[in-house]
Amino acid sequence: MSDMDMAIYTLTFNDLDYKVTRYTDKPDYVGTQVDRNWHDLGVNGPPIVVPTAETQYFDIEPHHARVDPSQSSAIPYEGVAGMIQAQHRLHCLNMLRQGLWYNWEYYRRIQHPDWSSKQEVMLGNYSLMELHTAHCVDQLRQSIMCESDLAIIPYMRDENGEGKMDFSRRKRCRNYDSLLHWHRNHSIGAELEKANGSVPYYSWTGRE
């Protein structure tokens, strides 16, 4: 990832204004547009290839999947196949969004791959759908606890003198657009996807 722009910039987070965003609108109101917005964040893949020369920087070991163009024309160069952690976390967050009580019936109705009847197969006491959701909850829990963000959300007084949290805080962030640009140029099948304009679904679990 040496060719990715790692510049840090300042972002002001959204305040609690009781409005939806393009990532939280109800699909019953806006249809597939909300899912297109999440897709544009890279939550649906495709996998990327970490160049062989850079695998040493990412705790990649010999048993991880090595790929090269001789295996498929969709593989851009020799390296190790994988997914970017930020996009995995967004995938998990998006899955929890889809599973919210006011969205769930919509995704069941359209038989979205994560919420289709195929996901009802039982593995012990839990369905595949439940286990996938549980995995996402725990991945996000571990990530939040690992990073243990110590930034303070201070209280402020509203127009009535009541206390409220000031969520509109500045934070130093990586440039996610730069990550997306890198992802598009280093993913498996990127050129094929550009050629046919498709929006394929890439499995994170291998069971969809």
Digit-by-digit pLDDT tens for the chain (208 residues) are 778 888 899 999 999 999 999 999 999 999 999 999 999 999 987 889 999 999 999 999 999 989 999 988 888 899 999 999 999 999 999 999 999 999 999 999 999 999 999 999 999 999 999 999 999 999 999 999 999 999 999 999 988 989 999 999 999 999 999 999 999 888 887 544 443 444 444 555 555 5
Amino acid making up residue 148: S
Residue 54 zone, left/alpha/beta (φ > 0; ψ -120 to 50; rest): alpha
Cα 97 from Cα 24, distance rounded (Å): 8
- pTM as predicted: 0.87
Alpha helix stretches (DSSP H) within 32-166: 33-39, 85-98, 104-109, 128-147
Extract the tokens encoding 104: 């769930």
Alpha-carbon separation of residue 14 from 19, 21, 92, 127, 163 (angstroms): 10, 10, 21, 36, 18
The answer to whether residues 68 and 77 touch, using CB atoms and an 8 Å cutoff, is: yes
101-121 in b/e form (b: 16+ CB < 10 A) is eebeebbbeeebebbeeebee
- Which pLDDT value is given to residue 18? 92
Strand segments, DSSP code E, in 33-192 are 48-51, 66-67, 79-82, 122-123, 126-127, 155-157, 163-165, 170-174
* 150 and 131 Cβ atoms separated by less than 8 Å: no
